[in-house]
Amino acid sequence: MSTVETITEKLPTLSLRQDQSEQPKKEEEYKYAHLLPVFPKDEHYPPLTPFEHVDPGFRALNHPNPRSFLDNATSVIEITPRLGSEVRGVNLAELDNDGRDQLALEVARRGLVVFRDQQDFIDRGPEFYREWGRYFGRLHIHPTSGHPEGVPELHLVYRDQNTTYNFELDDRITSTTWHSDVSYELQPPGLTTFFLLSQPPSGGDTAFTSQVSTLSRLSPQFVEFLKTLKATHSGFEQAAYSRSGRRGGVVRREPVENAHPIVRRHPVTGQEALYVNRQFTRRIVGLKREESDAILNFLYDHIDRSIDNQARVKWEPYTVVLWDNRITAHSAILDFEKTDARRHGARITPQAERPIPANPDLKL
């Protein structure tokens, strides 16, 4: 089956939408049609196996100027004091290994770094995306999401006026779903790269929150208690949702459940961060259901309401965003669903180490 036939079969409702320049074009003229999502029914993968991860940021710690990759930037501003920087004038695609090491450290320290004017990066295509991602860890293949034909390592988010593979509002009053990507894996992602190939003229922003800052707002006594706890993170619900036919109907790898510390330590910076999220965290190990629910719901509400720990990224054409999934959570903002607009994004998702407990005595 050809690429065009596959896209037509999987996305029959697409007609006129918008590309990076937001000018209407016929679908066959869409610049990034080769990166539209497909869901091959015969695609299956074995369970993931453990691997040794060495974070590139370690190498940058010994650099005399670990931010020298920003020396030629025309602008570097903090989005908020606690989370996020925005950079202009640096071409990510041209960074050498030394620059990539420094980038990993900068993302670990700031949690979120937004790079504008990255057409060179985005237009280099799938083979470059894979090479880029592998530098930072083993590439994750998402068990249920769409990917471009022949590029399973590229996770896609997609919504237009008629089609969605990631967001549902049937029985909810908000689209906000704070999460750390695929936290149910034994070795969840670390440094993550995401960009939009097409975005609405307004709306469709992404919100981020610092899990370092949310933890720091809690009382020291409560944090010490949380450090003694671990919680299960589950991919079973996501798989069931896909099997229901509401997200492409594909499950490439059987779902897993893993227990992670509620407070984890970043291997490079040593920062401690809260590590729970509404989407995938299910229960605190060893506590009764009511006890677990009380603590988790308190933490979820704390994350939801702490706008002083949050940053919001407004998408411009050719923006590339990098964040550290170990110390941040994020949510897409679905406020454009009634417009004739497309939001088409791609994520490069390297896995990192198994979460390290902030409490060295906690047994996983």
pLDDT at 34 over 70: yes
CA torsion angle 79 263 332 335 (round to 10): -90
pLDDT of residue 28: 59
Range scoring the smallest mean pLDDT among 20-24, 75-79, 296-300: 20-24
pLDDT band at 255 (very low <50, low <70, confident <90, very high): very high
The model's pTM is 0.91
Report the chain's mean pLDDT, rounded to a whole number.
91
pLDDT at 194 over 70: yes
pLDDT of residue 22: 46
Distance CA 271, CA 164 (A): 36
Residue 267 three-state SS: coil
Scan for tokens 């420094």, then name that residue: 102
Range scoring the smallest mean pLDDT among 1-10, 155-164, 333-342: 1-10
Distance CA 227, CA 216 (A): 13
pLDDT digits (tens, 9 = 90+) for 337-356: 767 889 999 999 999 999 99
pLDDT of residue 7: 36
What is the pLDDT averaged over residues 61-76?
A: 97
pLDDT at 221 over 90: yes
What is the pLDDT averaged over residues 74-80?
A: 98
Range scoring the smallest mean pLDDT among 10-24, 126-140, 206-220, 307-321: 10-24
pLDDT of residue 335: 87
Distance CA 178, CA 280 (A): 10
Query: Which residue would you say has higher pLDDT here, 328 or 8?
Result: 328
pLDDT of residue 30: 93
- What is the set of domains in the chain, with CATH numbers? 51-352 (3.60.130.10)
pLDDT of residue 168: 56
Strands (DSSP E) contained in 186-319 are 191-198, 206-210, 230-234, 257-261, 263-265, 272-274, 281-284, 310-313
What is the pLDDT averaged over residues 204-225?
A: 98
What is the pLDDT averaged over residues 256-277?
A: 98
Q: What percent of the chain has pLDDT over 90?
A: 82
pLDDT of residue 10: 40
pLDDT of residue 24: 45
Task: Characterize the bridge pairing of strands 85-88 and 112-115.
Answer: parallel
- Provide CB contacts within 8 A for 103, sequence distance 6+: 69, 92, 95, 113, 322
Distance CA 177, CA 37 (A): 22
**Tokens representing 25?**
């074009």
Tell me the torsion sign for CA atoms 333, 334, 335, 340.
positive
pLDDT of residue 165: 61
pLDDT at 248 over 80: no
pLDDT of residue 29: 87
Question: Is 203 exposed, middle or buried (CB count within 10 Å of its CB: 0-12, 13-18, 19+)?
Answer: middle
pLDDT at 98 over 90: yes
- Provide CB contacts within 8 A for 152, sequence distance 6+: 43, 141, 252
pLDDT digits (tens, 9 = 90+) for 232-246: 999 999 999 888 866
Distance CA 358, CA 265 (A): 5
Strands (DSSP E) contained in the chain are 16-18, 24-26, 75-78, 85-88, 112-115, 154-159, 191-198, 206-210, 230-234, 257-261, 263-265, 272-274, 281-284, 310-313, 320-324, 328-332, 343-348, 356-357
Q: How many residues does the chain have?
A: 364
